[in-house]
Every structure is written in C-alpha cells, then in structure tokens.
Amino acid sequence: MPRKSSKPKRGSKKTAAKVVARHPKLPSAVIILKNCLNIIKKNWKTFTVIALVYALLYIVFVRGISGGLNLSGIRSTLDHNTTGATTLSTGLSLFVYLIGNSTSSQNSSVNAGIYQTILLIIMSLAVIWTLRQAYKNSKLRVRDAFYRGMYPLIPFIMILIIIGLELIPLLIGGSLYSEVMTNGIAVGALEKSLWALQFIALAIVSLYMMTSTLFALYIVTLPDMTPLKAIRSARELVRGRRWEVMRKILFMPLFVILVALVIMIPVILLITAAASWIFLVLSLMCLVFIHSYLYGVYRELLE
C-alpha cells in the first residue's frame, strides 16, 4: 500500500491572495472625504452643537476665559526683528507658533491636562455615537449622544491605552532625533540623514501598528464588545491591505493642515487679535471631522 506523503501543503501564498481578492479595493481618499463631508453637512446642526459644547467646556476647564495669546504683540516683534520678511512668511511663522502652543504643555497645569483628556474621551464617544446613528439615518439628538454614547467608556479607554503603547516607537524616535539635533551630536549631513531615517523608521512602526487599532476605537463601541475582540476584528479588517489603509489615514492630517493654512493665514494677517480664538475653535471642531473621516474609512472596510 503506497504511503501518503506527510509533507504539509504550502498554501500560504494562495491564502494571502484569497484574502486580498476577497476584499474589494477601497475608494480613493477624496471619495471618502466627500462622503464624510456629506454626512457632516446632512447633520450639521447636531455636530455643530457638539463642537460648541466641546469648545465651551475646553475654554472653561482647560484654557480659561483670559487664555488667549497676544498674537498682535508677537507679530509686532517679528516685524521689528525680521528684516525683509514678507507678509506671508510672517503669517506662516505665527501659524507654526499657534500649532506649537496648542501642542505644548508648558503653560498648562496638571489639572488642565487631566480635564483635556477627559473632555477628549467624552466628546469622542459622543461623536462616534452620532456618526453611527447618522449612517443608520436615525433621529439624532445631542442629549442622546452624551447619555447613550457613554456606555463603552472603559473599553474605549483601554483601546486608547493600547494606542498609547503603540506610539512608543514614534516617541522614542522623536526624542532621540531632537536630542541629537539640539546638542549637535550629529554633525555631518550623512549623520543627520541616518538619524532622520531612524526616526522615520520608528514612526512607520508606530503607524503600522496603529493602522488597525484606530478602527478598534469604533468597533469597541458596539454592544457586548470587548477590547480584545475589537482589536482582533480591526486586524481582520485591514488584513492584506494595511498599507493601503495607512495611505488613507495619512491623507487626513495632510488635508487638515492644508485647510487650516488656507483659513488661518488670512485670519492671522487681517484680524490678528482674534486669530488665537478662531484657531482654538477650528482645532476643536477638527475632532468631528477626524472621527467622521476615520469612521468613513471604517465603513468602507466593512463593505
């Protein structure tokens, strides 16, 4: 009787090909963006109220009523000290300063940082609940977004902690690159390039891991969903197309920066005194847009 071969069949390549073929190609980032803006436009009243509530609470608990920047004084100093500077370069410098000030915690107390984190979580859950109902064409009420959208609070926080752990390579790369450049450790162009490549490589590692975990934030808000199940489901969603999904995600911050430049440069140059407050409102309203865009990508992954 002939022996059956005990050599295992190698079907890994075929299996991978089947996984890729099983999922249709995602729409372009522009189409996803258009769908995202349509959802916001269709339900603009609800999203506007949520954004205004976020802005009000942020001003009261985090920034303070008198926490506006003296941008006019900074502009006068730049115009006085910078010889031959163009109006556009001054606007760009102030725009970069606004971004740096918004991400810096030098002027923030510990309590303000805690309040900011709490508000970010609460508002994210409210926006995600609203988006899910909007895609179902259900009736939307701001009250329900804050009442009914809060139930997956602990699982949501656990996913955020995992995302924070995945950001460690990016943070390490950024810290090392900053120390090397600040202290003059890297002198030649080759050394600086190698350190920059190291930072980019570590950033890609973080982005690669986060590409699936970001969508776990939306999966974990489903009924009876645990963080581990959400992470496994998110990995399955991006299987075979992680790099494609990563490109869709990276499109979002590039678009946000471009739109912010188009809006804020004229505001900074024409009404400098109010620019810091307008930038604050726009940055807080970005929360609605970011979740709407990522949720749109998530919906496309489900197809």
pLDDT in tens, 271-286: 888 888 888 888 888 9
130 lies in a domain? Answer: yes
CA–CA distance, 296 with 180 (Å, rounded to integer): 39
CA–CA distance, 114 with 105 (Å, rounded to integer): 12
What is the token pair recorded at 181? 């450049």
pLDDT beyond 70 at 5: no
18 lies in a domain? Answer: no
136 lies in a domain? Answer: yes
285 lies in a domain? Answer: yes
Selected residue with higher pLDDT from 64 and 298: 298
pLDDT beyond 50 at 91: yes
Give the residue carrying structure tokens 């608990």: 61
Tens of pLDDT, residue by residue over 210-241, are: 999 999 999 999 998 999 999 999 999 999 99
Cβ burial of 290 (10 Å; 0-12, 13-18, 19+) is middle
Local structure of residue 104 (DSSP, 8 states): -
**CA 186 to centroid of chain Cα atoms:** 31
Tens of pLDDT, residue by residue over 95-121, are: 888 887 766 544 456 677 788 899 999
CA–CA distance, 289 with 135 (Å, rounded to integer): 15
- Neighbouring residues of 79: CB distance < 8 A, sequence distance ≥ 6: 85, 90
Q: Are 39 and 296 in contact (CB under 8 A)?
A: yes
Phi, psi at residue 255, to the nearest 5°?
A: -65, -40
202 lies in a domain? Answer: yes
3 lies in a domain? Answer: no
Cβ burial of 298 (10 Å; 0-12, 13-18, 19+) is buried
10 lies in a domain? Answer: no
- What are the start-end ranges of the H helices in the chain? 12-22, 29-42, 44-58, 71-81, 87-103, 110-135, 142-147, 153-166, 168-182, 189-219, 227-238, 242-270, 272-302
Q: Are 36 and 293 in contact (CB under 8 A)?
A: yes
Q: How many domains does one find in the chain? A: 1
> Which residue segment(s) compose the domain that 199 sits in?
27-76+87-98+108-302
19 lies in a domain? Answer: no
